Amino acid sequence: MRRSFCGVIANIGIAVSASNAASPSLQDPAIGSHWPAESSFATPPVRAKPVPGSACDVADRYVTLQGAGRQDEITALFAPTASLLGISETVVRGRDQLTAHFSHAISRKVIPISFVDRGRECFMELASPRLGDDDGPYRLAAIDHFVLDQNNQIERLVIYIKPGIASAATGK
C-alpha cells in the first residue's frame, strides 16, 4: 500500500499526541531534543538543538542565517550542484540560481521545534508567527528536508509549508 508523505506525518502526529496526552512535548534521547505535540504556541516555543556535527546542525545554521537576514551567506551551505524546491514550486538548481533565489528571499522569524537526524538527512519542523506579527502566537508552519553530500553541504532541500501559510507568503 502506497502512503503519502502527509499521511505518514499525520499518522506520526496522531501517535505523538496519543502517547503524550499528559505532557506537551516528548524528549527524544537519541537526538537530545524535545518534540512538541502542538500545532500552535501562545508564546515562542523552545528552540530545538541539533546534535553537533550532524546533518541537522547544517539545517540549524541555514535557519539561523535565514532568520538573521543573512541570505548572502546561505548559498555557501549548498553544494555546487544543489537543488531546492520551495514555496514557488520551481526547482532552483546550482549556486548561481540559489544566490539569485536567496537575494529575493524575505527574512522570517522561525524557530526549529524538532530535528530528526538520520545520517546525511535531516527533517526539521519549524514554527513561526503570522506574517507581519513577529510577537504573535507561533504555529507549526513548515517541514524542511535536507540531504547533505559527502562534504556536509546541502545537496537537496525540499521545503513543505502548510497551505494557509504558503498562500500568505506568496500572495496566491
Other residues' Cβ atoms within 10 Å of the Cβ of residue 22: 5
pLDDT at 26 over 60: no
Q: What would the pLDDT profile of 55-88 be if each residue is shown by its tens digit?
A: 999 999 999 998 888 888 999 999 999 999 988 7
Give me the mean pLDDT over the 154-168 stretch: 77
pLDDT at 36 over 60: no
Give me the mean pLDDT over the 39-65 stretch: 90
| Residue 17: partners with Cβ closer than 8 Å, 6 or more residues away | 37
- Report the distance separating Cα 134 and Cα 169, nearest Å: 14
Torsion angle of the four alpha carbons 119, 90, 165, 159, in this order, in degrees rounded to the nearest 10: 0
User: What is residue 37's predicted lDDT score, i.e. its pLDDT?
Assistant: 57
User: What is residue 163's predicted lDDT score, i.e. its pLDDT?
Assistant: 73
pLDDT at 33 over 80: no
21-30, 55-64, 90-99, 120-129: which has the minimum mean pLDDT? 21-30
User: What is residue 133's predicted lDDT score, i.e. its pLDDT?
Assistant: 61
Strand 78-85 to 40-41 pairing: unpaired
| Residue 4: partners with Cβ closer than 8 Å, 6 or more residues away | none
Q: What would the pLDDT profile of 104-158 be if each residue is shown by its tens digit?
A: 877 778 899 999 999 999 999 999 886 656 667 888 889 999 999 999 999 999 9
The residue with cell 496519543 is: 18
- Report the distance separating Cα 131 and Cα 169, nearest Å: 7
pLDDT at 102 over 70: yes
Domain boundaries, the chain: 40-170
Is the domain spanning 40-170 CATH 3.30.1180.20? The answer is no
- Report the distance separating Cα 26 and Cα 39, nearest Å: 14
Give me the mean pLDDT over the 37-57 stretch: 85
